[in-house]
C-alpha cells in the first residue's frame, strides 16, 4: 500500500500547468518531473504491523491501514478549510472559517509537524538508540515476571529480534505520526488552544513561488528572537502559527519581500531530503545550494 508522507491535497497546489511537480532528491542526486501521486510516497509508511511467530519459528507480519486511515481523516476534515484559505488570501481577503474549520487546520498542521521521517528524527535526536529502549522495555516486563532476559548482545544479534524491533519501531513512528491514542489527542487539544494562524501570499506567483519539502515545515530563526515555523500550503500561500495573544495578520509578498520568500525556500530545502515545486529552475538551484551545506535535520513542532 502506497502512503504519502505529504498529503496529495497539498502537493497538487505546487503543480505546474501540466499538473506535474519538479522533484529534487538530494539522496539520489536526481531531478525529475512527476505527478503528486508518485511524489513523497513510500510503501506501508503508516501501516500497523501485527507480528506473530509461525510454526516454523519465523516471524510473520500482517499490515493494516489503521494509522494511515487516521491521518486521512485529519486531511479530509481540513481539506475544505485549506481550500478556502488559499482562495481567500489570493483575493487579499481574510478566510471566513468556522471555529471547527480553524480547529481542523490546527490538527492538520500538528500532523504535518510530526509525520515526516525528518521531523521524527529531530524529535528523537539525542535519545538512546531504539534497540536499547526496546531492550529496557522488555527487561522491565520480564523482571516483573521473574524471568531473566538474555544479554543485550545476544538479543541484538538475533535476526528474529532485529526484525521484531524493526516492526515495533515502525508501529511507534506511525502511531506518533497519526496522533492516535487518548494521551496524544489530549495533548493536541491543549496545544491547539495556544495558537492561531497568520498567513503570507505571493502577489505575483507567476514570477516567484514557494517549494514544499519532505520535512514539511520551514523554520526561520532570528538572532535575538524565537524561531518561526512556516508551512507552505500552495506555491503562493504559506501559514505560520502565532500565539493567541497576538492579532493574526495577512502578509502580501510583493517584490520587496523576495528575500523572505527565499528564506522560507532555503529553509525547506536545507531541512529536507526531497523538495518539489512547479519550477524546474528553482528546485534545481535550491538543490545545488543545499548540497553545499550539511543536512540540518528537523526542527521541533511549532
Cα-Cα-Cα-Cα dihedral of 77, 82, 83, 89, to 10°?
A: 160
pLDDT(249) > 50: yes
- pLDDT tens digit sequence for 162-186: 999 999 999 999 999 999 989 999 9
For 43-62, what is the mean pLDDT? Answer: 94
- Spans of all domains in the chain: 2-290
For 63-82, what is the mean pLDDT? Answer: 98
The pLDDT score that the predictor gives to residue 300 is: 35
The alpha carbons of the chain give a radius of gyration, in whole angstroms, of: 21
The pLDDT score that the predictor gives to residue 297 is: 44
For 256-277, what is the mean pLDDT? Answer: 95
- pLDDT tens digit sequence for 86-136: 999 999 999 999 999 999 999 999 999 999 999 999 888 888 999 999 999
For residue 156 the three cell numbers come to 541484538
Q: Which of 49, 47, 72 is closest to 62 using CA atoms? A: 49
- pLDDT tens digit sequence for 53-68: 998 888 999 999 999 9
The model's pTM is 0.91
Amino acid at each position: 500500500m502506497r502512503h504519502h508522507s505529504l498529503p496529495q491535497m497539498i502537493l497538487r497546489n505546487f503543480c505546474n500547468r501540466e499538473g506535474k511537480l519538479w522533484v529534487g532528491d538530494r539522496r539520489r542526486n536526481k531531478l525529475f518531473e512527476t505527478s503528486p501521486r508518485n511524489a513523497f510516497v513510500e510503501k506501508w509508511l503508516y501501516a500497523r504491523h501485527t507480528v506473530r511467530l509461525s510454526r516454523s519459528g519465523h516471524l510473520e507480519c500482517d499490515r493494516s491501514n489503521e494509522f494511515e486511515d487516521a491521518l486521512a481523516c485529519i486531511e479530509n476534515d481540513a481539506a475544505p478549510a485549506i481550500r478556502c484559505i488559499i482562495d481567500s488570501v489570493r483575493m487579499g481577503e481574510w478566510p471566513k472559517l468556522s471555529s471547527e474549520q480553524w480547529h481542523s487546520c490546527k490538527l492538520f498542521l500538528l500532523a504535518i509537524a510530526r509525520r515526516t521521517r525528518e521531523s521524527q528524527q529531530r524529535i528523537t535526536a539525542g535519545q538512546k538508540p531504539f534497540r536499547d529502549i526496546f531492550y529496557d522495555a522488555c527487561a522491565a516486563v520480564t523482571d516483573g515476571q521473574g524471568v531473566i532476559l538474555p544479554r543485550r548482545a545476544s538479543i541484538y544479534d538475533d535476526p528474529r529480534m532485529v526484525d521484531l524491533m524493526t516492526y515495533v519501531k515502525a508501529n511507534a513512528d506511525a502511531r506518533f505520526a497519526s496522533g492516535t491514542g487518548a494521551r496524544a489527542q489530549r495533548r493536541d487539544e491543549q496545544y491547539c488552544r495556544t495558537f492561531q494562524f497568520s498567513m503570507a501570499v505571493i502577489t505575483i506567483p507567476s514570477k516567484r513561488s514557494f517549494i514544499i519539502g519532505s520535512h514539511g515545515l520551514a523554520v526561520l530563526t532570528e538572532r535575538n528572537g524565537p524561531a518561526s515555523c512556516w508551512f507552505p500550503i500552495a506555491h503562493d500561500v504559506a501559514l505560520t502559527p502565532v500565539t493567541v495573544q497576538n492579532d493574526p495578520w495577512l502578509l502580501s509578498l510583493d517584490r520587496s519581500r523576495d528575500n523572505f520568500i527565499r528564506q522560507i525556500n532555503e529553509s525547506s530545502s536545507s531541512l529536507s531530503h526531497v523538495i518539489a515545486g512547479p519550477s524546474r529552475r528553482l528546485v534545481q538551484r535550491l538543490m545545488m545550494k543545499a548540497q553545499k551545506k550539511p543536512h540540518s535535520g528537523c526542527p521541533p513542532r511549532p
